[in-house]
Structure 1
Amino acid sequence: MPSLSDSFLQELQLKTDIVDLISSYVSLKKRGNTYVGLCPFHNEKTPSFTVYENTQSFYCFGCGAGGDGVSFMRKIENLDYIDAVKVLAQRAGMQMPDDGYDDSLSKKRRVILQINRETARFYHNYMMSEQGKVGLQYFLNRGLSQKTIRHFGLGYAPNNWDELFKHLKSKGYNVSDMLAAGVVRKGEKGYYDYFRNRVMTPIIDVRGNFIAFGGRVLDDSKPKYINTSDTLVYKKTNEVFGLNYAKDSGKDSLILCEGYMDVIAMHQAGFTNAVAGCGTALTNEQVRLLSRYAKEIILVYDNDEAGQKALNKAISLFDQVDVKISIPTLSG
């Protein structure tokens, strides 16, 4: 991979104040010539994360994470080197030299994101057509408005073997990239769509990228839900559904629900700070991500045994980060 010029990287470093950068993720307090806070990379109650303004670097005495602004951005946002530089360059109002500096991993990630976006568009358009009205009817029966359906980009995967595969092929995408995105699988008889005859919910990260999908059957057949497996752009233990919208709600609290449909219904009802963890169980990574965007987490879980078990686990996880927890009493 060709390297970025020293002059470009030096200018980027001059225009990136590491205290300002890290303050948008971590609550820092000045201590002498340094700044300290709770480490965003591991659970701790006593601050061991230190930012050095004079050297424009950071170091955590608890877990050993350290480096410069690029290192921080790579680790906090799960980016490769080039994508981390791009984010910082955009933040500093700088133009990247040219796309010739993309490495193969960065290019692969970008193509997967393009495939996911095209796939989401395909599912939504199909559902809004005559052939996909069964999917639209499902969402309408669940009380969702057309506006909400559009807002979340909801869709329907055709009850056909390879309709999405053929569509993506017609758009010029190659099979290896479709497989890497997780929207297509290979079987004994060739390639087939992973999601079929399911209502589809796209999962969008905080930067607005379409990173994965959740699919639900229209009846009670099993498995009820299937989700995108981990890919180059998606690791379910790191992601929170709805945070791309909730972070702009103007509130300093987040409502943590159990599932995607709960979040969507809450947003429709005006609670635009509602989110849900991706995957079946809340993780440390998701808790740390949520604590970066809110001072208070309101836990809204079902009253059944599974819901209460999940609630107790959530309480113990949030107990390890600097955030207030509220548990509302729900009637009915």
Structure 2
Amino acid sequence: MAGRIPDAFLDELLARTDIVELINARVPLKRQGREYAACCPFHNERSPSFTVSPTKQFYHCFGCGAHGTALRFLMEYDRLEFLDAVDELAKRAGLEVPRETRQSDQARGEFDALLGISAAAAGFFQHQLALADAARRYLDRRGVDAEVRARYQIGYAPAGWDALREALGTDPQRLQALERAGLLSRNDAGRVYDKFRDRVMFPIHDRRGRPIAFGGRVLGKDDGPKYLNSPETPLFHKGRELYGLWQVKQAHAKIPRLIVVEGYMDVVALAQYGVDTAVATLGTATTGDHAELLFRSAPDVLFCFDGDRAGRGAAWKALEAVLPRMRDGRQAFFLFLPEGEDPDTIVRKDGAGGFEQRLQTATPLSEFLFAELSQDINLGTLDGKARLAERARPLLAQIPDGAFGDLMRQRLGEITGLAAAPSAGPAALAPAPVPRRAGGAPAPRRSLVRGAIALLLHRPRLAESVQPPFLFAALRQPGVPLLVELLGLIRERPDISTGIILEHFAGRPEEAPLQKLAVQDLPGDEKLLRTEFADALVQLDRQTVAQRIAELQAAQRAAGLDAGQKDELRALLSWRAQR
């Protein structure tokens, strides 16, 4: 497995990357003062709210909240995995990714062998389809033309027990690769045979378009399960992959939405009728990894399920997966189909226009959540409203900080009559009310802790002016542990930029409020800001001493102090008097 890439290498990589040049090559930027702006590439908008800061080395969209470093931009815009994005930046910067971070030669060789055998199997199945009249007639009956068959690389697994094995298992190593790739099965007697037999084959591609697994649809009615999927392998984890996503990416430079359906043929039938943004989960419930992959690919996700009990249960699991990932600018909808119908049958009966009309009636996530939670509750009673609040609050607490979370809590308050619960973000970093000067201009006002954190974000080198241990680390105030962590991080990585600091906190509760502080303007020259930072830390030290004096005096009143505590109290009182 790939090892962890050293922080020092990532710091150097991002320091050598011109984020403006990188993004401008993909999204044309216009200079606005010290920064650059454009319409956001991650959501639709008419006026630019997407900014890129060359000094802070990060981008931020004030509309949808997208933000990050050059590395995050490549992952989001080019839809690359982390290691692939690192490789891309390293090539641009002329750097070699440290050898120890890569897979061992043996593991890399095995991985490449599995990729090779899966690609060979996909080619074999495609070739066999041209020779199989029954399989082609099945696809003809389903209305799948040659262009769509080629786009999805649909094939056919012959009916024999060892057709694939005989064609590709030409030596012990390839036989082992076929088995490791999930293409062969082994019975109790040890006999090895083809896993897929007499089935129409649907290759599953990874995000680079490489076949990594397969789904097989049986032709006859009494020949085992209707659909058979590849097992979990070193290449394939069904909870992380989506069928058809590669084809959607090839059809759209910028994907407007994704439609999540249940089966391979649903995806293929919709594509046949021109609905080319459909993907399918692979015989499993929607996972958190699925949800993140969906939203990284498109801002709007529409789940399409049967309207029966099982379909609504699958929809609820999808809601639970996407809820913690509902950043501002993302939307999720749920469409429930009539009993006995699926996207395949509906698009064939009503055409793309009829299916699109149904999509327009899909239920927003907010409505679906409150409707499901209220099903067995009498909202006409106080007890019923209290029960709804009890059920909803743990779910709403999972929503990231932002307008959507605030509106969801407001909606709960409207339904129950209770005041909306405050956001669960770190209190010390929440934006404070901003008073105005006489002329109407806003006068910044921050708590000491929040002010020190903001200064460090904008001017990381301020950490050089303070030496550990930090007296204020013992202060019991919100945000102090974060301030101490920031100082330690910057002292360990003295060349760190604002963008890399934000990347360090990615996925943590502190990420959103830190991002809000990072995009604010911080007026003042370097000398003035350094003085402000030093003054803030002195004030925090004084508060820490006052806190300890109060503790010792309380202990003195309650039970008296020992000799050591008396000496400490005298020293602290003297320290305070001198300052």
TM-score range relative to shorter protein: 0.7 to 0.9
Cα pair distance change 1:25/1:190, threshold 3 Å: farther
Q: Which has the higher helix share?
A: 2
Residue in 2 that maps onto 1:239: 241
Residue in 2 that maps onto 1:122: 124
**AA of the residue aligned to 2:257:** S
Residue in 1 that maps onto 2:221: 220
Please give the alpha-carbon distance, in whole angstroms, between the structure 1 residues aligned to 2:235 and 2:277: 24
> Deviation at 1:140?
1.5
> Once the two structures are aligned, what percentage of the paired residues are identical?
29
Please give the alpha-carbon distance, in whole angstroms, between the structure 2 residues aligned to 1:258 and 1:85: 34
> Deviation at 1:329?
7.0
Please give the alpha-carbon distance, in whole angstroms, between the structure 1 residues aligned to 2:235 and 2:18: 25
Residue in 1 that maps onto 2:204: 203
> Deviation at 1:178?
1.5
Residue in 1 that maps onto 2:278: 274
Residue in 2 that maps onto 1:311: 315
> Deviation at 1:219?
2.7
Determine helix, strand or coil for the equivalent of 2:16. helix
Correspondence 1:31-180 to 2 at 5 A: 33=56, 86-89=87-90, 92=92, 103-129=105-131, 132-170=132-170, 174-180=174-180
Structure 2 counterpart of 1:283, from 287, 291, 296: 287
Cα pair distance change 1:145/1:88, threshold 3 Å: same
> Deviation at 1:208?
0.7
Determine helix, strand or coil for the equivalent of 1:299. strand
Please give the alpha-carbon distance, in whole angstroms, between the structure 2 residues aligned to 1:282 and 1:235: 13
Determine helix, strand or coil for the equivalent of 1:160. coil
Determine helix, strand or coil for the equivalent of 1:307. helix
Determine helix, strand or coil for the equivalent of 1:266. helix
Residue in 1 that maps onto 2:264: 260
Cα pair distance change 1:145/1:57, threshold 3 Å: closer
1:28-55 Cα deviation digits (max 9, x unpaired):
9889947598xxxxxxxxx9x995x6xx
Please give the alpha-carbon distance, in whole angstroms, between the structure 1 residues aligned to 2:117 and 2:12: 35
Q: Aligned pair count?
A: 294
**AA of the residue aligned to 2:333:** S
Please give the alpha-carbon distance, in whole angstroms, between the structure 2 residues aligned to 1:158 and 1:12: 51
> Deviation at 1:193?
0.9
Please give the alpha-carbon distance, in whole angstroms, between the structure 2 residues aligned to 1:13 and 1:232: 34
Determine helix, strand or coil for the equivalent of 2:306. coil
> Deviation at 1:170?
3.9
> Deviation at 1:17?
5.1
1:41-86 Cα deviation digits (max 9, x unpaired):
xxxxxx9x995x6xx899xxxxxxxxxx99x89xx9667x6x6754
Please give the alpha-carbon distance, in whole angstroms, between the structure 2 residues aligned to 1:12 and 1:29: 18
Determine helix, strand or coil for the equivalent of 1:202. strand
TM-score by length of 2: 0.44
> Deviation at 1:138?
1.5
Cα pair distance change 1:135/1:34, threshold 3 Å: same
> Are the aligned partners of 2:303 and 2:315 in contact in 1 as well (CA < 8 Å)?
yes
> Deviation at 1:319?
2.4
**AA of the residue aligned to 1:327:** F
> Are the aligned partners of 1:256 and 1:299 in contact in 2 as well (CA < 8 Å)?
yes
Please give the alpha-carbon distance, in whole angstroms, between the structure 2 residues aligned to 1:325 and 1:244: 21
Please give the alpha-carbon distance, in whole angstroms, between the structure 1 residues aligned to 2:195 and 2:22: 43
Please give the alpha-carbon distance, in whole angstroms, between the structure 2 residues aligned to 1:173 and 1:277: 32
> Deviation at 1:308?
2.4
> Are the aligned partners of 1:12 and 1:89 in contact in 2 as well (CA < 8 Å)?
no
> Are the aligned partners of 2:71 and 2:86 in contact in 1 as well (CA < 8 Å)?
no
Determine helix, strand or coil for the equivalent of 2:234. coil
Do residues 184 (structure 1) and 188 (structure 2) align? Answer: no
Cα pair distance change 1:50/1:140, threshold 3 Å: closer
Do residues 325 (structure 1) and 326 (structure 2) align? Answer: no
**AA of the residue aligned to 2:111:** R
Greater Rg over alpha carbons, structure: 2
Do residues 251 (structure 1) and 258 (structure 2) align? Answer: no
Structure 1 unmatched ranges of 5 or more: 1-5, 38-46, 59-68
> Are the aligned partners of 1:297 and 1:326 in contact in 2 as well (CA < 8 Å)?
yes
> Are the aligned partners of 2:152 and 2:247 in contact in 1 as well (CA < 8 Å)?
no
Cα pair distance change 1:228/1:35, threshold 3 Å: same
> Deviation at 1:243?
0.9
Residue in 2 that maps onto 1:66: none
Please give the alpha-carbon distance, in whole angstroms, between the structure 2 residues aligned to 1:283 and 1:18: 35
**AA of the residue aligned to 1:180:** R
**AA of the residue aligned to 2:212:** I
Please give the alpha-carbon distance, in whole angstroms, between the structure 2 residues aligned to 1:28 and 1:190: 60
> Are the aligned partners of 2:19 and 2:57 in contact in 1 as well (CA < 8 Å)?
no
Please give the alpha-carbon distance, in whole angstroms, between the structure 1 residues aligned to 2:229 and 2:96: 35
> Are the aligned partners of 1:18 and 1:57 in contact in 2 as well (CA < 8 Å)?
no
Q: Which has the higher strand share?
A: 1
> Are the aligned partners of 1:199 and 1:217 in contact in 2 as well (CA < 8 Å)?
yes
